[in-house]
Amino acid sequence: MNRRLLLTVLTALACSAATYPLGALAQGRDPAKLRVALLPDENATTLIQNAQPLKAYLESTLKKEIELIVTTDYSSMIEAMRFGRIEVAYFGPFSYVLAKSRAPDIEPFAVGVEKGSATYNSVLIATASGPVKTLEDVRGKPFGFGDQASTSSHLAPRAHLLKKGLEGDKDYKVVHLGTHDAVARAVQAGQIPAGALSEPIYRSLVERKLIDPARVVQIDLTAPIPNYPITMQGNLAPALKQAIRGAFLNLRDKEVLKSFRVEGFAATDDRAYDVLRETASVLKLDLAKMK
């Protein structure tokens, strides 16, 4: 190493030490503001509005400023977590698996529980007056999925169709529409004859009168899927991590829980999502190449 390069390196290290004292680095990050990302599975404005009780709860519980973030899509959320632009994130099961493959230090710590279960299903729907009445009718037609990294609006239903002898882009045309509600709306309007999305999200859309159940029919359900995990950066201070974990696991406020479509949270870890890695393998999806 030449003298000039050595001086540059030593200067950089000195500046780093001044900005992040060794003791602080050893103790982990404890930022004054926590950036909390919500899964972009519906309209961003709606998600932010519905999550205001969550923001108030976390600010009161953690005594920190909370910034709610909805990224443009699943990929940008994964990248934001990877590069430390968010501290806490509510991932879909498969988008978490993708994020973990790129940012090994992130930690899942809580999973949503609904009706006593930490699993949910994907629902396959069709236009009530359309040509698809059964799964076999999907053959030769377009089928709507959400984001490519979505579990219940892509991975699970696509694997379900494959098990029934229907391979994407061979036996039917794969159409990606971005979000769960976009799939439901497109099927309701007859823009595509069938599609798939999270069953809890579909139920919520019906309850909010955004989807008319008379115009949409359910044609099947997938096998149970591990529910959405809440994750955090692994480099946060231990005391902060414990506080964040406790804030979610002890959450009982129904108004706050409503934005997650769950009745509470239970502890979880990375092993709970191995089933999705296996499903991706069945579909011959290369996690390293997925955006």
Residue 288 confidence (pLDDT): 64
CA 279 to chain centre: 17
Please provide residue 245's backbone torsions phi and psi, each rounded to the nearest 5 degrees.
-60, -45
- My answer on whether 278 and 143 are in the same domain is no
pTM: 0.75
Residue 17 lies in a domain: no
- Residue 190 within a domain: yes
66 and 139 in a common domain: no
Residues 109 and 151 in one domain: no
The reply to whether 233 and 186 lie within a common domain is: no
Domain final residue pick, 176, 208, 223:
223
Work out the average pLDDT over 36-46.
89
Query: Which range among 25-39, 125-139, 243-257 shows the weakest confidence by mean pLDDT?
Result: 25-39
pLDDT-wise least confident of 20-34, 162-176, 193-207: 20-34
User: What is the extent of the structural domain holding 135?
Assistant: 122-223
**How many Cβ atoms sit within 10 Å of the Cβ of residue 138?**
24
Q: What is the DSSP string of the chain?
A: --HHHHHHHHHHHHHHHHHS-HHHHHH-B--SEEEEEPP-SS-HHHHHHHTHHHHHHHHHHH-SEEEEE--SSHHHHHHHHHTTS-SEEE--HHHHHHHHHH-TT-EEEEEEEBTTBSEE-EEEEEETTSS-SSGGGGTTSEEEE--TT-IIIIIHHHHHHHHTT--BTTTBEEEE-SSHHHHHHHHHHTSSSEEEEEHHHHHHHHHTTSS-TTSEEEEEEPPPEEPPEEEE-TTB-HHHHHHHHHHHHT---HHHHGGGTSSEEEE--GGGGHHHHHHHHHTT--GGG--
Same domain, 240 and 189: no
Average pLDDT, the chain: 89
Residue 232 sits in the same domain as residue 204: no
Q: Tell whether 153 is covered by a domain.
A: yes
For the CA atoms of 35, 40, 42, 47, the dihedral, rounded to the nearest 10 degrees, stands at: 0
Which of the listed residues 206, 223, 240 is the one where a domain comes to its end? 223
Q: What is the pLDDT of residues 208-238, one digit of tens each?
A: 999 999 999 999 999 999 999 999 999 999 9
Position 21 pLDDT exceeds 50: no
Determine, yes or no, domain membership for 18: no
**Domain match, 219 and 205 both:** yes
Distance, in Å, from the CA atom of 225 to the CA atom of 248, rounded to the nearest integer, reads: 21
4 found inside a domain: no
Q: Tell me, yes or no, whether 64 lies in a domain.
A: yes
15 lies in some domain: no
Q: What is the CATH number of the domain that holds 164?
A: 3.40.190.10
The pLDDT confidence band at residue 2, using thresholds 50, 70 and 90, is low
Phi, psi (5° rounding) for residue 149?
-95, 10
Give residue for tokens 């909010």.
Answer: 208
Q: Looking at residue 4, what is its pLDDT?
A: 52
**Confidence band of 291 (pLDDT split at 50, 70, 90):** low
Share of the chain above pLDDT 70, in %: 89
Has residue 23 got a pLDDT over 50?
Answer: no
Question: Quick check: is 166 in a domain?
Answer: yes
Same domain, 128 and 213: yes
**Number of domains making up the chain:** 2
Residues 100 and 232 in one domain: yes
Query: What average pLDDT score do residues 13-31 get?
Result: 55
Rounded distance, CA 122 to CA 132, Å?
A: 18
Mean pLDDT of 175-195: 96
83 and 58 within one domain: yes
> Is residue 279 within 8 Å of 151, Cβ to Cβ?
no
* Same domain membership, residue 49 and residue 176: no
Asked whether residue 196 falls in the same domain as residue 137, the answer is yes
